[in-house]
């Protein structure tokens, strides 16, 4: 958690959430690592505060009670707040984020953890989505309720072409990828849930077992292999998917076997026709959304190598995280 998320104002928001839940708001609070939210822990509860004006946590408050027990999702105590500061209070589940435990785990422990993640993920992918679950602007700009699932993505590509420091030729190359691969994901509709942000930050490990999958704010109904997009990003570039305090301890080589272990335990997830095309399209859709949300402030060669503009360039030339993982062999 950044210093801003540890600020007195952030703590005040967490104590307000406890008060609204009818809980003791004077208990000690421990700041927890998080990539997106303000997260605080008490001995018995977890408080998450979303500072973005999208009320993502409202969806999770609706979804949580409908998840099967095997997922291990904690009991929702209360949801509330307002746009730009909505909060969710849940019961605390035993364990620590798997990403934090991973550096010191043995190979056998890691293999056991991935097997248990696979089991929980498979169960999630068999779970129908609640009918009253609000729609969300998902990280992959693909939708089942339009004439083509890539229509929103094509609109965003036009938007990206007009941004400063964006090479029109690059966007045209990306657009060509979209046209060439769009048929691989048709039809795109599904009645069953995906997690939407499957990283080891969102998995709890108690030293022996995976106790829960957490943080379902991006969950929605989609084809199950959508979950491979973020998951494979994490396996290739894990330091980008942990809180600041864990970056130096998070090494790519420690994750090298993870995709193949998941394939062994959940082979159906990797058995979709034209899977490389599908994953490349998911990746482009994720990166274009990121690019339009956070436009480049300088030419690509002056940006961080992991900026969305540079990620897209690597996809076009066949050097993306998917190519580094040799997904054609999956």
Kindly report the CA angle at 117 between 113 and 123, in degrees rounded to 5? 150
- Residues 13-36 have pLDDT tens digits of 999 999 999 999 999 999 987 777
Whether residue 239 is predicted with pLDDT greater than 90 in this model: the reply is yes
pLDDT of residue 115: 98
Residues of the chain with CATH 3.90.1200: 96-139+187-329
155 three-class SS: helix
Q: What is the pTM of this model?
A: 0.89
Closest-CA residue to 174 (of 156, 191, 188, 190): 156
Q: Distance between CA atoms of 40 and 88, rounded to whole angstroms?
A: 11
Mean pLDDT, range 156-180, rounded to an integer: 97
Other CB atoms within 10 Å distance of the CB of residue 256: 12
What are the counts of helices (DSSP H) followed by strands (DSSP E) for the chain?
A: 11, 10
Q: Distance between CA atoms of 312 and 41, rounded to whole angstroms?
A: 37
Helix (H) or strand (E) holding 47: strand 45-50
Q: Distance between CA atoms of 47 and 142, rounded to whole angstroms?
A: 31
Residues of the chain with CATH 3.30.200.20: 4-91
- Residues 185-232 have pLDDT tens digits of 999 999 999 999 999 999 999 999 999 999 998 999 999 999 999 999
Whether residue 57 is predicted with pLDDT greater than 80 in this model: the reply is yes
DSSP 33: -
pLDDT band at residue 237 using 50, 70 and 90 as cut-offs: very high
Kind of pairing between the strands at 85-91 and 45-50: antiparallel
What does pLDDT average to over the chain?
92
The percent of residues in the chain predicted with pLDDT above 70, rounded, is 96
Whether residue 328 is predicted with pLDDT greater than 90 in this model: the reply is no
Q: Distance between CA atoms of 156 and 153, rounded to whole angstroms?
A: 5
Name the residue with higher pLDDT: 114 or 328: 114
Q: What is the CATH architecture assignment of 96-139+187-329? A: Alpha-Beta Complex (3.90)
**Residue 175 forms beta bridges with which residues?**
none
Closest-CA residue to 39 (of 63, 11, 72, 78): 11
pLDDT of residue 34: 72
Instruction: Give me the helix-helix angle, 308-316 and 168-181, nearest 10°.
Output: 60
CATH 2.60.120.380 at 4-91, yes or no: no
């Amino acid at each position: 958690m950044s210093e801003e998320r540890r600020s007195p104002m952030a703590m005040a928001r967490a104590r307000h959430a406890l008060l609204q839940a009818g809980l003791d708001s004077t208990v000690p609070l421990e700041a927890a690592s998080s990539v997106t939210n303000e997260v605080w822990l008490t001995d018995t509860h977890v408080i998450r505060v979303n500072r973005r004006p999208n009320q993502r946590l409202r969806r999770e408050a609706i979804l949580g009670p409908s998840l099967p027990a095997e997922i291990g999702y904690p009991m929702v105590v209360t949801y509330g707040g307002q746009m730009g500061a909505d909060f969710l209070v849940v019961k605390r589940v035993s364990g620590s984020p798997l990403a934090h435990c991973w550096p010191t785990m043995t190979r056998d422990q890691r293999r056991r953890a991935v097997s248990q993640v696979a089991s929980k993920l498979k169960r999630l992918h068999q779970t129908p989505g609640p009918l009253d679950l609000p729609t969300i602007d998902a990280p992959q700009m693909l939708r089942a309720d339009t004439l083509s699932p890539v229509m929103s993505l094509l609109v965003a590509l036009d938007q990206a072409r007009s941004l400063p420091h964006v090479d029109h030729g690059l966007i045209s190359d990306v657009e060509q990828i979209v046209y060439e691969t769009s048929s691989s994901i048709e039809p795109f509709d599904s009645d069953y849930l995906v997690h939407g942000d499957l990283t080891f930050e969102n998995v709890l490990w108690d030293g022996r077992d995976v106790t829960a999958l957490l943080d379902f704010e991006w969950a929605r109904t989609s084809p199950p292999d959508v979950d491979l997009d973020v998951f494979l990003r994490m396996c290739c570039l894990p330091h980008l998917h942990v809180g600041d305090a864990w970056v130096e301890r998070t090494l790519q080589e420690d994750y090298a076997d993870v995709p193949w272990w998941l394939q062994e335990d959940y082979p159906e997830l990797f058995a979709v026709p034209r899977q490389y095309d599908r994953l490349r399209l998911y990746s482009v859709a994720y990166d274009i959304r990121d690019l339009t949300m956070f436009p480049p402030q300088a030419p690509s060669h002056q940006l961080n190598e992991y900026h969305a503009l540079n990620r897209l360039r690597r996809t076009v030339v066949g050097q993306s995280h998917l190519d580094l993982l040799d997904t054609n062999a999956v």
